[in-house]
């Protein structure tokens, strides 16, 4: 992999790039586990406040959170195949998948945070 240095404008070695992506992926999975707990707590709050619309939205968001977490876990286990990459196309496939998952993850965070903010505003 060392002869693939010029893939990015700032010449990050692909091995380093993959390590950074692994750290980022682990961080996303930890955050999604915290969000899962947060969603459960928000459902409880909305039940006390009798906010049925929010409860349904939170349940939907919980399903989506679990789905994304499973998707990231599957991707994480597939990353063990990085060792077997013999050409740049293999590396690019993993990097492209990571970028795609990053967009999905960020969208999920934004939607979750917006919903949480709406609930908190309503509960004040």
When pLDDT is averaged across residues 44-56 and rounded to a whole number, the result is 93
Which residues have a Cβ under 8 Å from the Cβ of 62 and sit 6 or more positions away? 36, 39, 40, 43
Confidence of residue 2 (pLDDT cuts 50, 70, 90): very low
| More confident call, 104 vs 88 | 104
Q: Please give the share of the chain, as a percent, with pLDDT higher than 90.
A: 66
When pLDDT is averaged across residues 24-42 and rounded to a whole number, the result is 97
| pTM (2 d.p.) | 0.84
d(CA 72, CA 49): 33
Domain that holds residue 69: 2-123
Q: Domains in the chain: how many in total?
A: 1
Q: Any idea what DSSP says for residue 50?
A: T
Confidence of residue 7 (pLDDT cuts 50, 70, 90): very low
């Amino acid at each position: 992999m060392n002869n693939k240095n010029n893939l990015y404008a700032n010449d990050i070695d692909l091995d380093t790039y993959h390590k950074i992506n692994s750290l980022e992926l682990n961080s996303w999975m930890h955050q999604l586990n915290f969000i899962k707990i947060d969603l459960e707590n928000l459902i409880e709050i909305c039940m006390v406040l009798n906010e049925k619309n929010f409860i349904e939205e939170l349940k939907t968001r919980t399903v989506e959170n679990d789905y994304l977490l499973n998707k990231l876990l599957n991707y994480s286990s597939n990353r063990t195949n990085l060792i077997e990459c013999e050409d740049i196309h293999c590396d690019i496939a993993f990097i492209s998948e990571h970028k795609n998952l990053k967009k999905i993850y960020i969208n999920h965070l934004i939607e979750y945070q917006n919903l949480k903010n709406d609930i908190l505003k309503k509960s004040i």
